[in-house]
Structure 1
């Protein structure tokens, strides 16, 4: 009887050790993005996205040419902001009004839009996985608010523009401009910048260098908005 009790106690002890290890692993995993955010603050640091790391691990390779935001060119910066997150300078990492609409649509069983801010997309690209997931979205929210508190908006935009996927193995504004248009990001026309911007939601299926009628229509709208972005871009100056 004593032997059975001792054996049961040993099993419980092992289970307790494993549970503590799992909890410790989850805590460390949760703190890692918070620590990396501080490491990514200096302009000299050029972060990699999780997709870029995957390409390295799988030996696929990629093209990314880190370019400071001052050298990317206002046309592309403004086009991306007006296409992806027009309220980028005014929200705190999460656009609460947009999030409320998405939540209502989800609860009603309707097909929802992406609804991610540029800050949320930066968090996803730096720390999380891709694909539609309510769990990932729930994790994105607190990290995005944290990123917005710790990191200046201008730096967030700079990182996003240098890690966003713009085609198979193509990351960042400079590599995208060279790949799709054969020129530097600072030399893009307003229409080319708009075409690159509207490619971001579906970089593997949309081709800005050879746009269809639908993509051209979207680009015209973003080109027009980007031309009047002066009242929205104060945090990027």
Structure 2
């Protein structure tokens, strides 16, 4: 008796189901691997025509001023949220709707997910993948690992990636010894690393770095850095 041939909709369903299972398996294993192994390269680095100089440094070896500066600059609720800061997202949406200067609503976890596993640029498809990878890293990594990876893959200058490479570029020494101002100057570069320079800042960037030094003291005096 001849085997019964599945209908086209059934074959499509089985194919889609298997594809989803493979996607979940591969991405979970990928994220789990990077829980223990430094990402060798990212899409942003590979596509950077200026090169991708970096020098990985463990968070435990990095001056604590650097992660505190990152929290002060990029994600004040890093230790408190589950990957998404809904209040910041709401503020960013309201500013966009009103035509005001756009405030970034992405957390350090979201930026890490994008920088490590995805590509730069917008679009709902990439945003959806970013949310998915954010959930994965929050579930499979701990907060110190998220911060460690973030501070090693974030662009800190033209052709420069990571806080350690940034410290060497701007200050001539590694990130194991940074003053609060130096850490703040690197953090001030993060939103726009291709046009900002930590050692030759414009008036706005210089003032922003000085404001970050004050915020860093507030972070230290609160539970906002307890998770690192």
TM-score category, normalised to shorter length: 0.7 to 0.9
Q: 1:115 to 1:17 in 2, by over 3 A?
A: same
Match of 2:65 among 64, 67, 75: 75
1:214 pairs, out of 162, 180, 204, with 204
Q: How does 1:22-61 map to 2 (within 5 A)?
A: 28-29=22-23, 31-42=25-36, 45-47=37-39, 48-55=41-48, 61=51
Count residues with an aligned counterpart.
Answer: 219
Could you tell me the TM-score, scaled by structure 2's length?
Answer: 0.84
Equivalent of 1:141 in 131, 138, 160: 131
Farther off after superposition, 82-91 or 107-116: 107-116
Structure richer in helix, relative to its length? 1
Structure 2 unpaired stretches of 5+: 1-6
Measured after TM superposition, the shift of residue 233 of structure 1 is 0.5
> CA, structure 1 residues 185+133, in 2 after alignment: closer, same or farther (shift >3 Å)?
same
Counterparts of 1:110-129 in structure 2, within 5 Å, are 112-129=102-119
Q: 1:89 maps to what in 2? A: 79
Could you give the per-residue CA deviations for residues 150-199 of structure 1, whole angstroms, max 9, x where no partner exists?
21000000011011111122111111100111111122221111010011
Which of the numbers 147, 164, 168 marks the counterpart of 1:157? 147
User: RMSD of the alignment, in Å?
Assistant: 2.7
TM-score of the superposed pair, with normalisation by structure 1: 0.81
The answer for the alignment partner of 2:225 in structure 1 is 233
CA distance in 2, matches of 1:27, 1:112: 37
C-alpha distance after superposition, 1:19-60 (max 9, x if no partner): 987886676456533221111112xx11132212335xx7x6
- The separation in 2 between residues aligned to 1:90 and 1:64, in whole angstroms, is 29
